[in-house]
Amino acid sequence: MILKQIKTASVIALALGLVTVPAQAASSLAINGTLNKLTGGTTFDAWKFKILGTGTFTVDVAAYEASQSNVSTPDYFTNDINGDGELTWLDADTYFYQDTGSVKTANAIFRCDDVENNCGGTTGASNYFNGYTPGTNPLTRTTHLLTETSVDGSVHFRRDPWYDVVVNMPGDYLFLVADFRLDPVEAEAGINAGDSFSAPAGFTSPILDHADYRVTFSSPDMYISISGDTITLAPVPEPETWAMLLAGLGLVGWRFSNRSGGGSPTVAG
């Protein structure tokens, strides 16, 4: 009987929103991929993005496995970011497109190539496509700065893009990862024409037939999940919504128990 009262009290507390789930629960997701050098150029990857609400998220690429573009530059060192025992040389270039089922030049929204460089600089205006601007577009991009410390294990001081995105319009998007650089016309044609991976100048016997990348997505206000090549961003429910959901589950359990003739109610949560 005491147990029953306690559980009843918990249901009431949930219904009143007195039990909260942290809404600030951070969410992050890392994807890994490999691009290849073909006869006509290099390949690129297109990941589907289903964004179900407004919010913000961060894109943090770790790919180029040396700190400088020339082995004789001061502060040059290498690091095997993905720990696969080899060093590869993707000078990552990233894009967001509207997703209408395929990569279309007319659907390109913005580009971000590096930290700061080709990523809007300090004004944020450059490298938007199709007439979009930082103020009028579905997704607004703000680059992080070289003076900040990358959080994803990047090695090169500039080549790995790192930026925040504000979702102004939920919807279906494509996130493209390529080698420098993938013009929208090349993207629609399906190959980064004439492109080759760029090892640091002076590097002996570089691997140039493929290059690896990792991209970490994180958000303070959306949950990020993945199924196949589709990444879904869903707003984190407010605490009140969680409480109602949990209370609903609890009341369902109560009813089921009573109908089945059990002596004491079973309440979820």
And the tokens for 1? 């009987």
Nearer to Ca ion, 121 or 262 (CB): 121
Nearer to Ca ion, 84 or 240 (CB): 84
Stretch that binds Ca ion, among 28-36, 159-167, 230-238, 251-259 (CB under 5 A): 159-167
CB of 51 to Ca ion, least distance (A): 24
CB of 96 to Ca ion, least distance (A): 15
**Under a CB-based contact definition with an 8 Å cutoff, are residues 79 and 62 in contact?**
no
Residue 84 makes contact with Ca ion by CB under 5 A = yes
Residue with tokens 């961003």, as numbered in its chain? 233
Q: How far apart are CA 38 and CA 50, in angstroms?
A: 30
Nearer to Ca ion, 10 or 88 (CB): 88
**Under a CB-based contact definition with an 8 Å cutoff, are residues 100 and 176 in contact?**
no
Q: Which residues contact 80 (CB under 8 A, 6 or more apart)?
A: 65, 86, 87
Residue 99 makes contact with Ca ion by CB under 5 A = no
Of 186-205, binders to Ca ion (CB under 5 A) are: 186, 192, 195
Strands 45-51 and 230-235: parallel
* Strands (DSSP E) found in the chain: 27-38, 41-42, 45-51, 55-62, 92-98, 108-112, 139-143, 162-167, 171-179, 192-193, 210-219, 222-227, 230-235
Nearer to Ca ion, 108 or 247 (CB): 108
From candidates 37, 111, 144, 159, binder to Ca ion by CB under 5 A: 159
CB of 33 to Ca ion, least distance (A): 12
63 Rama class: left (phi>0) / alpha (psi -120 to 50) / beta: alpha
Nearer to Ca ion, 114 or 221 (CB): 114
Nearer to Ca ion, 66 or 222 (CB): 66
CB of 205 to Ca ion, least distance (A): 15
Residue 82 makes contact with Ca ion by CB under 5 A = yes
Stretch that binds Ca ion, among 105-113, 130-138, 145-153, 221-229 (CB under 5 A): 105-113
Of 113-152, binders to Ca ion (CB under 5 A) are: 113-114
Nearer to Ca ion, 176 or 243 (CB): 176
User: What backbone torsions phi and psi does residue 138 show, to the nearest 5 degrees?
Assistant: -75, -30
Residue with tokens 């707003």, as numbered in its chain? 235
Residues that bind Ca ion in the complex, under the rule CB under 5 A: 80, 82, 84, 91-92, 113-114, 159, 186, 192, 195
